[in-house]
Amino acid sequence: MVQSGKKILIYDTTLRDGAQGEGISLSVLDKLKIAKKLDSLGIHYIEGGWPASNPKDMDFFHQIKGYGLKTAKISAFTSTCRPGQSAEEDNNLLAALAAEVSVVCIVGKSWDFHVEQALRTTLEENRRMIRDSVRFLKEKGIEVIFDAEHFFDGFRANPIYARQCIAEAVKAGADWICLCDTNGGSMPWDIENIIAQVKREFACPLAIHTHNDSDLAVVNSLAAVKAGVTQVQGTINGYGERCGNANLCSVIPNLQLKLGYQCLDEGRIRYLTEVSHFIAEIANMPHNGQQPFVGRAAFAHKGGIHVSAILRNSGTYEHMDPALVGNRRRVLVSELSGVSNLLFKAEEFGIKTDEITADGRQTIEYIKQLENEGYQFEGAEASLELLLRRAFGKYEDFFELEKLRIIVGTNSGSAFGAEAIIKIKVNDVEVHTAAEGNGPVNALDNALRKALGQIYPCIQNIRLTDYKVRVLDEKEGTGAKVRVLIETSDSVDTWSTVGVSENIIEASFQALMDSVNYTLLKKGTQ
């Protein structure tokens, strides 16, 4: 059922639960940058961390006060007081107060199995811990969200006790009851059915917190909203412990664009792709290209039949306009391509073609032949653009290679290094030079820059940012053909080029040549 603007509040826990994901470690500065970005997106709650767990999180809470956030409330995470200890004496709760935030999220047990096995206390004492902890923070004027940990597992095992835990938090004044699928094993119909029962019994606003261990965190969050929750907790890009949390980059557009709920203010959702990539970069994690809505491949088309159709009407193979979330349509050129792919890419690159010519059709066949030999242009669009411009007579290389020699070895027992000797020709001018590097590719890159830098100074501002080698026919051993992908960047853009050969140096040089030529093309160099 499509809603008409019903508001759903978004609680982001990327800085706490998301940071528990394998391979993620955020500095205080990282967390501050992410918080500012989330605020600009319009997120309602940002959970900054657990103040009692480490000095870094407490430092974040102190520093974020000076950032003047416009939309988000900063929340601190903590747990209920310990068994046998009053809330007033509990270090976790006192640290949450010291963070000087307006919102605190308290996690407490709601599964009898966990109370007895993990906390090693009685069911009655756990209820007391929930009641006293919520009361203590409410008396300080703090907005309290009670995270009922393992709630769905607990409800299935002992529904009476799970309800009693919620009742304690509600009686103590909790502003929100967040039902947590902590182990991530619940089915959507269970989520919906259990929440419906809870909603009938308790008037307190409900939230949902799901994990992705069954690959259902997003759909479970949607099912919870359908059942009546009005706050969704999750992380950007689905970061989190084990298999991650509910991915807000999927939850938000599904709720807002598909189901008609209001999660973000009008117009802000178009920054979702930018925020997703920004946070991946800060977290030093590769961005998932096939992530729905915000991934690079989310609206990428490769098959010729598909491309032919979307050129007529994008709705034929796209479930929505990618621009709504700040993404864009991409057409890939490969051995599966048809004429439509080529025309789309030519137009995208600004190459004017009235209709496809015989040369264009030959280009398609040539690309297919190259891909059969091991080239791959999906990840090397700079090389593809140069190839298409050559095919349509719109481009000539800026230099010619006359001679190349590479020497690899050591001097007086030092570490291995390399020297590249190169002779190039620009129009009628020959340049002959040499350069050293810590390896043959580095030496080659340095020599090429040194030779061309005298004529084209702009290439001194680019740098090689990534270098990948893929063995294409492993059975050939050291004589196998390899594909080299090089990523190059300047202060504004990043582009990728490709080379293929049985000789890794030749493949690398092909990719370097394309990279430099593409740079000069984009700079408008004569």
Q: Which helix (H) or strand (E) holds 107?
A: strand 103-109
| For range 434-451, the mean pLDDT | 87
User: Which residues lie across from 499 on neighbouring strands?
Assistant: 484
CATH number at residue 77: 3.20.20.70
Same domain as 57, residue 136: yes
The span from the CA of 497 to the CA of 381, in Å, is: 7
The span from the CA of 286 to the CA of 280, in Å, is: 7
Question: What are the start-end ranges of the H helices in 319-439?
Answer: 339-348, 358-373, 381-391
Same domain as 234, residue 121: yes
Percent pLDDT > 70 in the chain is 86
CATH number at residue 492: 3.30.160.270
- 410 versus 97: the higher-pLDDT residue is 97
Residue 450 located in a structural domain = yes
CA 446 and chain centroid, separation: 33
Residue 291 located in a structural domain = no
The span from the CA of 460 to the CA of 449, in Å, is: 7
Handedness of CA 120, 123, 127, 128 (dihedral sign): negative
Single out the residue in 358, 391, 424 at which a domain terminates.
Answer: 391
Give 9-26 pLDDT, tens digit per residue.
999 999 999 999 999 999
The span from the CA of 151 to the CA of 147, in Å, is: 9
The span from the CA of 366 to the CA of 191, in Å, is: 54
CA 91 and chain centroid, separation: 35
Same domain as 463, residue 349: no
CA 68 and chain centroid, separation: 26
Per-residue DSSP letter, 91: H
Per-residue DSSP letter, 88: G
Same domain as 103, residue 240: yes
User: Residue 284 has what pLDDT?
Assistant: 83
Same domain as 330, residue 236: no
By DSSP bridging, strand 9-12 and strand 231-234 are parallel
Give 445-500 pLDDT, tens digit per residue.
888 888 888 788 888 888 888 888 888 776 666 677 888 888 888 877 888 898 88
Which segment of 58-72, 160-174, 287-301, 329-343 scores lowest on mean pLDDT? 329-343
User: Residue 338 has what pLDDT?
Assistant: 52
Single out the residue in 369, 391, 413 at which a domain terminates.
Answer: 391
Residue 290 located in a structural domain = no
Same domain as 243, residue 307: no
User: Residue 303 has what pLDDT?
Assistant: 63
Confirm if 224 and 181 have CB atoms less than 8 A apart: no
Q: Is the pLDDT of residue 2 over 70?
A: no
Axis crossing angle, helix 339-348 with helix 304-312, rounded to the nearest 10: 60
Same domain as 404, residue 343: no
Task: Count Cβ neighbours within 10 Å for each residue of 309-330 and write b for 16 or more, e otherwise.
Answer: bbbeeeeeebebebeebbbebb
The DSSP annotation for 237-306 comes to: GG--STT-B-BHHHHHHIIIIIS--B-S-TTGGGGHHHHHHHHHHHTT----TT-TTTSTTTTEE-SHHH
Give 325-362 pLDDT, tens digit per residue.
998 776 665 544 555 566 666 666 666 665 555 555 67
Q: Which helix (H) or strand (E) holds 76?
A: strand 73-79
The span from the CA of 251 to the CA of 165, in Å, is: 28
Handedness of CA 372, 374, 375, 378 (dihedral sign): positive
Tell me how far CA of residue 244 lies from CA of 28, 235, 255, in angstroms: 22, 8, 20
Residue 508 located in a structural domain = yes
- 346 versus 5: the higher-pLDDT residue is 5
| For range 63-85, the mean pLDDT | 95
* Contacts for 335 with CB less than 8 Å, ≥ 6 apart: 367, 368, 371, 372
Give 362-394 pLDDT, tens digit per residue.
766 776 777 677 777 766 788 888 887 877 777
Confidence of residue 49 (pLDDT cuts 50, 70, 90): very high
Confidence of residue 143 (pLDDT cuts 50, 70, 90): very high
User: Residue 4 has what pLDDT?
Assistant: 59
Residue 373 located in a structural domain = yes
Q: Is the pLDDT of residue 103 over 70?
A: yes
Single out the residue in 256, 282, 308 at which a domain terminates.
Answer: 282
Give 223-274 pLDDT, tens digit per residue.
999 999 999 999 999 999 999 999 999 999 999 999 999 999 888 999 999 9
Same domain as 178, residue 63: yes
How many Cα atoms sit within 13 Å of 407 on the Cβ side?
A: 9
Confirm if 500 and 482 have CB atoms less than 8 A apart: yes
Amino acid 408 reads V
Closest CA to 253 of 178, 181, 321: 321
Tokens 């046998």, located at residue: 84
Same domain as 213, residue 263: yes
* Contacts for 315 with CB less than 8 Å, ≥ 6 apart: none
Q: Is 233 helix (H, G, I), strand (E, B) or coil?
A: strand
Give 81-96 pLDDT, tens digit per residue.
999 999 999 999 999 9
Give 185-217 pLDDT, tens digit per residue.
999 999 999 999 999 999 999 999 999 999 999
Tell me how far CA of residue 92 lies from CA of 208, 422, 453, 491, in angstroms: 23, 65, 60, 45
User: Residue 526 has what pLDDT?
Assistant: 45
- 366 versus 160: the higher-pLDDT residue is 160
Instruction: List the domain range (segments joined by +) for residue 314.
Output: 300-391
Residue 59 located in a structural domain = yes
Residue 293 located in a structural domain = no
Same domain as 471, residue 376: no
User: Which residues lie across from 360 on neighbouring strands?
Assistant: none
Give 272-282 pLDDT, tens digit per residue.
999 998 898 88
Domain total for the chain? 3
Same domain as 493, residue 436: yes
By DSSP bridging, strand 300-301 and strand 231-234 are unpaired
Same domain as 131, residue 42: yes
| For range 107-136, the mean pLDDT | 95
User: Residue 77 has what pLDDT?
Assistant: 97
By DSSP bridging, strand 103-109 and strand 73-79 are parallel
Percent pLDDT > 90 in the chain is 52
How many Cα atoms sit within 13 Å of 30 on the Cβ side?
A: 18
Please give the torsion angle defined by the CA atoms of residues 5, 9, 14 and 16, in that order, rounded to the nearest 10 degrees: -170
Tokens of 170: 């509600």
Confidence of residue 308 (pLDDT cuts 50, 70, 90): low
User: Residue 266 has what pLDDT?
Assistant: 80
Residue 292 located in a structural domain = no
Handedness of CA 223, 227, 228, 233 (dihedral sign): negative
